[in-house]
Amino acid sequence: MADNSYRISETDRKRILRLPDDIAALADRYPSELVNISDSWDEKPFPEGYIPRTIEVYTAEIEDAVISITDNVLVGYIPCPTEANPSSVTVVVDGDFAYIEIEGREIINHIGGAILPKINTNITELLQTIITGKKDD
C-alpha cells in the first residue's frame, strides 16, 4: 500500500509535473515515490563495473528497508507478505535512487553497469530473521 500520508510540497509538485503525464498521474497514490522519481529522473546509470557499497530495497507496504546489503553482506532482511506483490519497489544504491517500480511498471532503472553482489550471510541469522522478523544481537 502506498504512503498517502506523505504531503507533496509545491516545489516537488512542479518537478513532478515535468515528468511524462502517465507517471505524474501517480503522484496522489505514490507521493514519496514520485518525489524520489522527480529527484532522480535525469541521473545517469551507474558506469560499467561499478561496485556498490550499500544497497537498500524498500516496498510501499513496509516502512523500513526490506533488504539491506553493506559490502556484499546481507545486514537486514524483513520478510514481505507473500499474498501479493508489493505495489512499489525502490532500490537505493549508495544513497541514490537506482530503480523504482510502481504497480509492476519499471519507472526508473539507473542500475546500468553496477555489479550487484552475491550476498554472503550467516544462514542461522537469516533463518532467525525470517522466523522472528528481527535479528538477535
Judge whether 105 lies within some domain.
yes
pLDDT greater than 50 at residue 88: yes
pTM: 0.81
Contact 115, 31 (CB under 8 A): no
- Cα–Cα distances (Å) from 5 to 8, 28, 30, 45, in that order, read 10, 10, 10, 30
Judge whether 1 lies within some domain.
no
pLDDT greater than 70 at residue 126: no
Question: What does the mean pLDDT of the chain come to?
Answer: 86
The parent domain of residue 32 ranges over 10-132
Over residues 46-66, the mean pLDDT reads 93
Structural domains of the chain, count: 1
Signed CA dihedral, 9, 18, 104, 99: sign only: negative
Judge whether 77 lies within some domain.
yes
Judge whether 5 lies within some domain.
no
pLDDT interval class at 5 (50, 70, 90): low
The pLDDT value recorded for residue 77 is: 86
